[in-house]
Chain A
Amino acid sequence: MTQDALQIIAYCCEHCAYAAADLAGGLRIQYPPSVRVVMLPCTGKMDVLLALKAFEDGADGIMTAG
């Protein structure tokens, strides 16, 4: 599987990592299309159930940023 074919779910904090991703978009900075960003109100909201849900729905990996 190529890197682009992977599906990585990135759970990002609304206040920092998500805003950073937004800014990266505004600056036209590229990141791999395999990364799908999901906004969390806070990474404290991150839970094993969210990770399991992502894997169950076919994700190859997850990352949390905050």
Chain B
Amino acid sequence: MSGQTRPGSGKEPVGVVGIGQTKHVSARRDVSIAGLVREAAARALQDAELGWADIDAVVIGKAPDFFEGVMMPELYLADALGAVGKPMLRVHTAGSVGGSTALVAAGLVAARVHRTVLTLAFEKQSESNAMWGLSLPVPFQQPLLAGAGGFFAPHVRAYMHRTSAPDHIGALVAYKDRRNALRNPYAHLHEEDITLEKVRSSPMLWDPIRYSETCPSSDGACAMVLTDRAGAARAPRPPAWVHGGAMRSEPTLFAGKDAVSPRAGSDCAADVYRQAGITEPRREIDAVEMYVPFSWYEPMWLENLGFAEEGEGWKLTESGATELDGDLPVNPSGGVLSTNPIGASGMIRFAEAALQVRGAAGAHQVAGARRALGHAYGGGSQFFAMWLVGTEPPGT
């Protein structure tokens, strides 16, 4: 074996130089699936001041194909995404897919297989119905529930029991995220007249989860252009640099599973922090975009990701630290609670984290954000994908 060792071994640093999203809405009746993904991709290319021909490979992700009723839709989308003659990969890791997709794309650059990669995730949920897509009947199984809310509500109750968190914490999160969304022109829900009281008096759907504490169902896409050092040097706007990225998975159900604080989540975060040299996440990370589809998941993930001690996450939320002007803003974009094109939701978290450290988040910019965490999870709280992005190149 001849080992061909490349000069300058180690991973190639990866920069995010282009970010694009659609305006997320419940139904984009004016576009095809191709039109939806092209809108996000074109904006990402425009942000990077690149053309389709500058892209070496395309990595696309989405949640189950049943949502749109198109099997492996990347085949049909190859032309629309300028992928003809190029490599195209399709990732599917349930709800975490948007994050996993970005990480797979980053890996192609880090491994120096490609220099500039377009990564994109989408869901056009209006083509079918999310409840249907998530709850197809399975013979021999007892239909007890439909949709995700009922699945996650018992875990929220377990968290409340375990930590003695007061009932109102969930409402605080929803109220914060919906107000943040008002500052984000791409967010789906823009509830101008939102009040804490409205959240607290909204109907109880899956007790302890109220209507206003749940995520919407959205049509939307998110795209990013990832590139190497040379590409970043040519970029017209400051890149976000990837300082760490990881995926972790554990089984759906198993004896001893901690669904409130899954070990896959804390292991994943620990790996990312190790790569990024973070030892005190609460102090060293300036903004967090975490996957919070139901409000209570904010305090739950604050603990799981090491921002709070076990049982203390709700206190951090209650203290106001996670508000846009707090010392650890969580979901300045409005989060999944305000925008949820399922397959894209994880990538939106990753992209919003990158926007923060590029100083490009507009009205929901966290002042002086230099390091931000993007987080996604999926399945039965079992698939996790995270990245940490920073203003400075890694290792500086």
Note whether A and B form a binding pair: no
Q: Taking beta carbons and an 8 Å cutoff, which residues of A are in contact with B?
A: none
Q: Taking beta carbons and an 8 Å cutoff, which residues of B are in contact with A?
A: none
